[in-house]
Amino acid sequence: IQMTQSPSSLSASLGDRVIITCQASQDIFKYLSWYQHKEGTAPRLLIYDASKLGAGVPSRFSGSGSGTDFTFSIDYLQPEDLATYYCQQYDDLPLSFGGGTKVEIK
């Protein structure tokens, strides 16, 4: 299953709302997660089952969608949100990631 993520990078100001989209090449129902990956650290699970918040994840992160089209949002962008974000489908094997979105702070 191919996961197409966009944009590949973005630059936003502190306090902005950031939106990232992910499109699956076939119906993956709700089986999508979003990861935050900061340089030099392990990826962190933010969202699973398309819209459920991971343990300890701030509520400014959210996800929505089902089927083939999904959206990830960061409300009120914070300095610590500088990272690359990936979607991942787990409807079927092989597990597959989107290409990533690098979020930079203006």
Partner 1 sequence: QVHLQESGPGLVKSSETLSLTCAVSGFSIGRGSYWGWIRQPPGKGLEWIGSIYHSGDAYYNPSLESRTTISVDASKGQFSLGMNSVTAADTAIYYCALVASPGIAPAADFWGQGILVTVS
Which member of 13, 42, 59, 79 binds partner 1 (CB under 8 A)? 42
93 binds partner 1 (CB under 8 A): yes
Q: Between 17 and 104, whose beta carbon lies closer to partner 1?
A: 104
49 binds partner 1 (CB under 8 A): yes
59 binds partner 1 (CB under 8 A): no
**Whole-number Å distance between alpha carbons of 80 and 64:** 22
CB of 57 to partner 1, least distance (A): 9
**Whole-number Å distance between alpha carbons of 81 and 104:** 8
**Whole-number Å distance between alpha carbons of 98 and 66:** 16
Question: What are the tokens at 74?
Answer: 């960061």
Question: What are the tokens at 38?
Answer: 């900061």
Strands 18-24 and 32-37 turn out to be unpaired
86 binds partner 1 (CB under 8 A): yes
9 binds partner 1 (CB under 8 A): no
Residue with tokens 């966009």: 6
| Residues binding partner 1: number (CB under 8 A) | 29
Radius of gyration of the chain (CA): 13
Chain positions contacting partner 1, by CB under 8 A: 29, 31, 33, 35, 37, 41-45, 48-49, 52, 54-55, 84, 86, 88, 90-100
